[in-house]
Chain A
């Protein structure tokens, strides 16, 4: 069992119970694998896409074209779907705060940034209209900050529609607290609570008993290794 497999499964778990909606993994290879793994196992009604504009009828390996196509989702329809809401998106973030406000726009003062990043992209509308989760491959105080420089994606204190979970290379976090602030939901096998606290630049809510993130089943490990990611892209994305 690798840490990357634990992370993919923890991301896949974000889609549990979602039913017949688009699982949009657009925050890196792990999020794409998570959507496809969930569909192949416990959430078979999910829709998944090829990363371009096809809804796939089968569930291809990462980077492979589908053999079966069940729908067309060009950018204009993807943007429609964001507003429609039948979609659970898993995003990345360069910064995220304790209420889940996220930044992918720029670092520093917006008027004259120290580092221009992507721009807000679709994060404002995604987080306002759709269930949203995050995948953060490198859990560190540089990412988990007291205050983000630009609010691209909305936190629970700014009207997020439904922030589900944040999965990192160390832990799973959620927002199931009275004030909607971030809580440590589980630590990955081999990670201590102290490690997560040290890697987080704000005060996390820590329950009395912090469970361990579940390990992949034998079937999940097999699907990742043999079917979805034989080239091991997930391993390169997850910080050791």
Chain B
């Protein structure tokens, strides 16, 4: 009944060539401890699906990535992600660039097991030019409007970090924004949750209302307790962003930063 695992055990489940969705947003509540497990493993050729932050940057820097699917990669308080930039400018990764709203519809489609969802976001922009595989669909109703058919962002694995979870994988956010972590869990074949603290199921509602129970155990394969596991990204109310550490990440050559751990 317990799904408690270690970071290394989660990393061992992820194989080269897999598609991995990573929760959070920019430099906010990213599952950095789980990402660290991937950095130490031999995995490569990953396709990452992410509202991208240092998760994408680090995996690019470590040569783990074949393709990034994202509407942006940013560190929020530092707008441009250095390692993602280098990978793009060096031509070492492929990039599927979507509008933010398109990306959400891709997650929603996958979560609902639909092949696509239609939206206006993306029409007329170069998102259509740089993703020649994107198709449009015409409304079958009287309006006849042409819309982008955003394909489902299905994924082999989702990695998310929440504030609390129980040993069976019920997971809770206590900060101001759920981001899209529930959608990643629902869009993935296997979802691994890391959390600040494992608690008894009976204690989940002691810290937050029932609406804070974001992810159900039926969507979760494994759960890992990783205090500080989103650092240096923000994980309110447990901690804010470690701006000093984020600055050090940007200013330090990757090999050096990575070796220092």
* A interface residues, Cβ below 8 angstroms from B: 52-54, 72, 74-76, 79, 82-83, 105-106, 110-125, 127-129, 150-154, 158-160
Contacts and interface: CB of A to CB of B under 8 A. Distances in A.
Contacts of B85: 115-116
A116 B176 contact: no
A158 B127 CA distance: 13
Interface in B85-130: 85, 88-89, 91, 97-102, 104, 119-127, 129-130
B47 to A, nearest CB: 16
14 contacts: A75-B177, A83-B121, A110-B126, A119-B74, A120-B125, A124-B102, A124-B122, A124-B125, A125-B122, A128-B125, A151-B126, A152-B125, A152-B126, A159-B123
A125 B127 CA distance: 11
Interface stretch (B65-73, B135-143, B163-171, B247-255): B65-73
A124 B180 contact: no
B71 A121 contact: yes
Contacts of B124: 124, 128, 151, 154, 158-160
Nearest to B236: A52
Nearest to A108: B89
A123 B99 contact: yes
Nearest to A152: B125
B80 A112 contact: no
Contacts of B100: 79, 121-122, 125
Contact of A83 (B119, B126, B178): B119
Given A83-B120, A121-B72, A125-B102, A151 B125 contact: yes
A124 B123 contact: yes
A112 B71 CA distance: 17
B126 A52 contact: no
B97 A120 contact: yes
Nearest to A115: B89
A33 B143 CA distance: 39
Contacts of A121: 71-72, 99-100
- Give the 6 A-B residue pairs with the shortest CB-CB distance, closest first: A125-B121, A119-B72, A124-B125, A116-B88, A122-B100, A124-B99
Nearest to B126: A151
Contacts of B126: 105, 110, 120, 150-152
B192 interface: no
Contact of A79 (B88, B89, B104, B178): B104
A172 B127 CA distance: 29
B179 A117 contact: no
A125 B99 contact: yes
B232 interface: no
B88 A113 contact: yes
Nearest to B51: A75
A185 to B, nearest CB: 24
Contacts of B184: none
A65 B102 CA distance: 31
Nearest to A157: B124
B70 A119 contact: yes
Contacts of B52: 119
Contacts of B89: 112-116
B237 interface: no
A52 B179 CA distance: 11
Contacts of A152: 125-126
A120 B104 contact: no
B143 to A, nearest CB: 15
Contacts of A154: 124-125
A116 B99 contact: no
B112 to A, nearest CB: 15
Nearest to A110: B130
